Chains A and B, each alone.
Chain A
């Protein structure tokens, strides 16, 4: 199976689609839980992937796992949303990406992902990975802060987050 990093950096457009397949539900659930608004979660997810597509050539394979990089973008989009009260669409406009309509079934599915996917799947992770993913991805806490609290190094926390996200991706992928 191709790694996230290979998919992100591939010149094959379909590879970005496969990268999207791996994380779209996780991101929808992440945004739905934070915004309590499925339509906003859909817009934020679309804008996050558009930003990732626009910036992927600058992704450095050695610097951070692709999943953590994607969630880093997501955190910034969420912060913008908090400030503006609406999801921006700058990257989608730049790339000529039309706004995909969000139907009733989509709203239900996104709300379900917000309730279930993130938390239930995270609960299935080994305790150390669960704590690290919760703290960093869902609570936006810095690696250094989590490391201090867990009496370990930042590198170990990064590894736990990376592995935890990898496991979640596999679980979500298996359910598709």
Chain B
């Protein structure tokens, strides 16, 4: 066996190990939730029986045959089709939504704590810097990086109960006032954030190493370039707050993101599946 073949086997085995580690963590529901879920399951079964009796056509012998009644399509990475309801496969809590046009692209669809929908193409700013497409991210902040601790790994800590207050105190962010909002029937707070730093208090070395840009990082898996504008919404969901973030590099871009994301958020269902 040659070096090239052996290295290939090692990498594929490592990819398998990595994949198994990325399976979503089980979330144990509370006892009351279990009872409610049991009741809901019974109700759902009754509904399924009722719906299947409606969704039938006679076969050649005149017997009723079930016709598939597709609802949500599982969400995989790639371009999204307008008008189709997509349902996440790994994110906790499960999400489902519909996009209104064909500019959306799904990324990170296999993570239990992060989902990224990008809109449009990357572009160049007047200084020639390449900027990523605008994005709509869904995240659960279970951990954050404390900007006052020097070493990145040492700075990892459990997410604070008041995430908004923690973000306001972050030296790499300028956080606006929060407004009460309701998304998918869940109450929460929405506010604007400007990422602004000369030298980030919480730098993320891999950004420089892999993409030749400087970033700050807030939580594992979330790293943001200087100048990024965000509109964040923190919803009070279980097991952790759900953070919905719109991002772009310009105010006009963020406004456009708000417009194109509006149908997605209006169609959003949380905790389906």
* Chain A residues at the B interface, C-beta cutoff of 8 Å: 6, 9-11, 13-14, 16-17, 20-21, 24-25, 28, 42, 45-46, 49-51, 53-55, 57-58, 60-64, 69, 72-73, 76, 95-98, 100-103, 105-106, 109-110, 144, 154-155, 158
Q: Scan residues 1-18 of chain B and give those whose CB is less than 8 A from a CB of chain A.
A: 2-4, 6-8, 10-18
Q: Which residue of A lies closest to B6 (CB)?
A: A100
With contacts A60-B107, A69-B210, A154-B124 known, is A53 near B132, CB below 8 A? no
Report whether over half of chain A's contact residues are helix, strand or loop; otherwise say mixed.
helix
Query: Do A17 and B124 have beta carbons less than 8 Å apart?
Result: no
With contacts A46-B7, A73-B210, A155-B124 known, is A106 near B2, CB below 8 A? yes
Chain A residue contacts of B4, Cβ below 8 A: 24-25, 28, 106, 109
Please measure, in the bound complex, the distance between the C-alpha atom of A105 and the C-alpha atom of B4, giving whole angstroms.
11
**CB-based closest 4 A-B pairs:** A13-B15, A100-B6, A106-B3, A13-B16
- Known: A62-B105, A96-B17; 20 extra A-B contacts, CB below 8 A, are A6-B77, A9-B107, A20-B8, A20-B11, A24-B8, A25-B4, A53-B18, A62-B120, A62-B132, A62-B133, A63-B132, A76-B209, A95-B17, A97-B11, A100-B6, A100-B7, A103-B2, A103-B3, A106-B2, A155-B124
B70 within 8 A of A: no
Q: By the criterion of a CB under 8 Å from any partner CB, how many residues of chain B are at the interface? A: 39
Query: Do A17 and B7 have beta carbons less than 8 Å apart?
Result: no
Q: Scan residues 62-117 of chain B and give those whose CB is less than 8 A from a CB of chain A.
A: 77-78, 105, 107-108, 110-111
A-B CB contact pairs (8 Å), 6 listed: A9-B107, A17-B12, A21-B8, A54-B18, A58-B210, A103-B2
Q: How far is the CB of B50 from chain A (nearest CB, A)?
A: 36
Chain A residue contacts of B16, Cβ below 8 A: 13
Q: How far is the CB of A79 from chain B (nearest CB, A)?
A: 10
Please measure, in the bound complex, the distance between the C-alpha atom of A61 and the C-alpha atom of B133, giving whole angstroms.
10
Chain A residue contacts of B111, Cβ below 8 A: 57
B238 within 8 A of A: no
Query: Do B11 and A50 have beta carbons less than 8 Å apart?
Result: yes
